[in-house]
Amino acid sequence: MYNPKILEGINPTIVKQYSYCPVIPWIQVKLNIYEPLTDSMKIAVENTNPPSGRGQVYVRGSRGSAIIDEIIEDEGGRVIVEKKAYRSHNYSRYVEQAVSTYLIAKSIIPGIRRIKLVVGNRDNVIDINEDLAADVERILDLIEKSLNSDKPPSTSPNPKKCGSCWYRRYCPHY
């Protein structure tokens, strides 16, 4: 089962959490506190298991590590498949997460040309392009910088987000 604690360095889940609130990865890494998997998270993990006969791929590069649900050989190159059980109101976080998987994996798995994001029963194929990769690269740089600092990243507490945030009891801003 996926556990962010066993992954080293930056991983796509940290990217998704950073996009939600930059303080969460800082609390996880600096205070070593992680939200336990809820029942719906466990179901999501189960629902995104690859079909039998295919295995997930764990990659570890200089920037961090990631678990890739599946890699497909396609015309013109390889395709990373990223599976999500549920649609999100913030789809861009899924895209950032998928592109960060690509950035972590690209030095180990050459020839990746596309990402297939499977959300529920819908597929969206994302062509890798320099602008998209550079945007996510900037996010990785910001995460690295914040995780190397003893001071939590600044943010403006948001009553809606903070009210439902499991980490608020440990949050230096709340």
Residue type, 80: I
- How far apart CA 118 and CA 70 sit, in angstroms, is 11
Q: How much is the CA Rg of the chain, to the nearest whole Å?
A: 16
Residue 157 binds ligand SF4 (CB under 6 A) = yes
Residue 23 binds ligand SF4 (CB under 6 A) = yes
Closer by beta carbon to ligand SF4, 89 or else 122 = 89
* Helix, strand or coil, per DSSP, at residue 107: coil
Total interface residues for ligand SF4 by CB under 6 A = 13
State the nearest-atom distance from the C-beta of 86 to ligand SF4, in Å.
Answer: 20
- How far apart CA 55 and CA 71 sit, in angstroms, is 9
Q: Which of 131, 99, 104 lies closest to 117 in space, CA to CA?
A: 99
Residue 167 binds ligand SF4 (CB under 6 A) = yes
State the nearest-atom distance from the C-beta of 51 to ligand SF4, in Å.
Answer: 36
Closer by beta carbon to ligand SF4, 122 or else 169 = 169
State the nearest-atom distance from the C-beta of 17 to ligand SF4, in Å.
Answer: 9
- How far apart CA 161 and CA 47 sit, in angstroms, is 26
Binding site for ligand SF4 (CB under 6 A): 21, 23-24, 155, 157, 161-162, 165, 167-168, 171, 173-174
